[in-house]
Amino acid sequence: MTTQGQLFYVIGASGSGKDSLMRYARTHLNGHQRVLFAHRYITRPFEVGGENHVALTTAEFAERLHHGCFAMHWQSHGYHYGVGIEINQWLSWGFRVVVNGSRAYLPQAQAHYPKIRPVLVKTSPAILAQRLQARQRETPEEIAARLRRSEQIHWPQAGLVEIDNDQPLEKAGQDFLDLLTEGVWPLCG
């Protein structure tokens, strides 16, 4: 797919702080840059987790998938995730588009969007464990499984940008903002 814009595909272990970084960037951009954040459509209730997503039933998700409403879609941890086809229009208009992606889906995303910029949000195992425990969404066994999974993934990706999210949010957030706005002029003064 040929696009004029740039797709930033944010990945990282659950609890690495992807949502926090994206909220930080959205707040500090305040709509004045050519950067748009895609919502995910998820078959998970809105109350579960801190992500600003569109909650769908499994039937609603299947209907949208059947009609081609998703540019990307995957399944993880018992839920269906989708990113709407509106991102293709945004990219064609020259926007920089930020997607909260799936590590496992990255190869498919790269096949559809060859100029994709994968952004890995990295966190040390100790901090990741603290964040997962603080969320109180999983059992200790589920947290241990997530930690093992995050340590098994290696990223020998050309063009992969890493954001160290062990540092204060203001520093990691600024690193993320710098990446998203590099060479972008404000839309309004």
State the DSSP code for 17: S
Q: Is the pLDDT of residue 185 over 60?
A: no
Strands (DSSP E) contained in 4-160 are 6-11, 35-37, 40-42, 54-55, 70-76, 79-84, 96-100, 117-122
Residues 77-119 have pLDDT tens digits of 889 999 999 999 999 999 999 999 998 899 999 999 989 999 9
Q: What pTM value is reported for the model?
A: 0.84
Where do we find the tokens 């990446």?
A: 179
What tokens appear for 13 in the block?
Answer: 């272990």
Q: Count Cβ atoms within 10 A of the Cβ of residue 52 and give its class: 0-12 exposed, 13-18 middle, 19 or more buried.
A: middle
87 in Cβ contact with 71 (< 8 Å): yes
| pLDDT (0 to 100) of residue 159 | 77
Tell me the per-residue pLDDT of 165-177, one tens digit each, with 9 for 90 and over. Answer: 888 899 999 999 9
CATH 1.10.150.120 fits 6-181, yes or no: no
Model pLDDT for residues 1-56, shown as the tens digit of each residue: 444 899 999 998 877 889 889 999 999 998 777 999 999 999 988 765 566 789 99
Task: Give 124-165 pLDDT, tens digit per residue.
Answer: 877 877 777 777 677 778 777 777 776 656 555 667 899 998
